[in-house]
């Protein structure tokens, strides 16, 4: 019970710190979000968002991706890296959607994960943000923070998803994912977390793995909406 209380308290504090937390990929339809999430592998959301306006205008539906000329699509995707593999993924994705789902993005995890280039992480992003179906998105940031918070010890994404899901209400899963990803990108970095500028330092069992001096820690916080740092206190359950 102490772990559950601490997990929910951390989520509440992060929700207050990041009231505008959301998916940082630009999209207007489930297909656009699915495509953008597939493209985000091994690159940044910023680069994806710079590429997708042209992509979405040129390929407005699944049928357009299914019939795409590989060379033309590669030229658009080249700035993202791994553009040949991503081109194959998008064409295969379009074909699968047309052939098996009438050109529409399915709203069930068990269907989404059958699509080329789509795993549980991508499926949960689409379900949570395009369909309003709660899902936990275990990317590198989420997994790192979940382990630092003591919510799991696992490196396996599926195990992390299930173990963390037992700590917070299902209705909060999607926003919990956003909170951890935003905090991981801005404050709780992989190599040098800004512990001294962390709003949940008091409840974090890993407090001290990074810079604890508030002034120094503030210099480590990356750009973007960030919470006002507080004076950290020793962690407790």
Which candidate in 11, 26, 45, 139 is catalytic? 139
Q: Which residues of the chain have pLDDT under 50?
A: 225-237
Residue 220, SS3 per DSSP: helix
Burial class (CB in 10 A: 0-12, 13-18, 19+), 234: exposed
Residue 235's pLDDT is 42
Residue 108's pLDDT is 96
Query: Which CATH number applies to 2-20+137-220: 1.10.1670.10, 1.20.1440.230, 1.10.10.60, 3.30.420.10?
Result: 1.10.1670.10
Residue 229's pLDDT is 40
Q: What's the pLDDT tens digit per position in 194-228?
A: 999 999 999 999 999 999 999 999 999 997 644 44
Residue 224's pLDDT is 66
Q: Give the mean pLDDT of the chain.
A: 93
Which candidate in 121, 156, 159, 222 is catalytic? 121
Whole-number Cα distances in Å, 183 to 43, 66, 77, 208: 19, 37, 29, 16
Residue 228's pLDDT is 40
The 8-class DSSP code of residue 106 comes to P
**How crowded is residue 16: how many other Cβ atoms within 10 Å of its Cβ?**
11
Q: Do 2-20+137-220 and 30-131 come out as alike in CATH topology?
A: no
The 8-class DSSP code of residue 236 comes to -
Residue 59's pLDDT is 98
Residue 234's pLDDT is 39
Active site includes 121? yes
The residues, any chain, with a CB within 8 Å of residue 13's CB and separated by 6 or more, are 199, 200, 203
d(C-alpha 23, C-alpha 37), whole Å: 10
d(C-alpha 37, C-alpha 24), whole Å: 10
Active site includes 172? no
Domain parsing of the chain, residue ranges = 2-20+137-220, 30-131
The residue with tokens 């194959």 is 88
Domain at 30-131, CATH homologous superfamily: Hypothetical protein; domain 2 (1.10.340.30)
Q: How far apart are the first and last CA of the chain?
A: 10
């Amino acid at each position: 019970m102490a772990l559950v209380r601490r997990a929910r308290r951390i989520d509440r504090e992060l929700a207050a710190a990041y009231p505008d937390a959301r998916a940082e990929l630009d999209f207007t339809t489930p297909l656009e979000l699915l495509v953008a999430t597939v493209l985000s592998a091994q690159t940044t959301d910023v680069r994806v968002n710079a590429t997708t306006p042209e992509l979405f205008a040129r390929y407005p539906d699944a049928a357009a991706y299914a019939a795409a000329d590989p060379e033309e699509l590669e030229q658009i995707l080249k700035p993202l890296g791994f553009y040949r593999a991503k081109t194959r993924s998008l064409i295969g994705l379009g074909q699968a959607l047309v052939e098996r789902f009438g050109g529409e993005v399915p709203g069930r995890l068990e269907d989404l994960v059958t699509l080329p280039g789509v795993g549980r992480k991508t499926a949960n992003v689409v379900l949570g943000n395009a369909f309003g179906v709660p899902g936990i998105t275990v990317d590198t940031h989420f997994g790192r923070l979940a382990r630092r918070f003591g919510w799991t010890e696992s490196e396996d994404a599926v195990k992390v998803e299930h173990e963390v899901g037992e700590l917070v209400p299902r209705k909060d899963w999607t926003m919990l994912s956003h909170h951890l990803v935003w905090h991981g990108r801005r404050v709780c970095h992989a190599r040098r977390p800004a512990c001294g500028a962390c709003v949940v330092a008091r409840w974090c069992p890993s407090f001290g793995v990074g810079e604890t001096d508030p002034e120094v820690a503030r210099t480590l916080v990356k750009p973007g909406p960030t919470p006002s740092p507080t004076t950290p206190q020793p962690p407790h359950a």
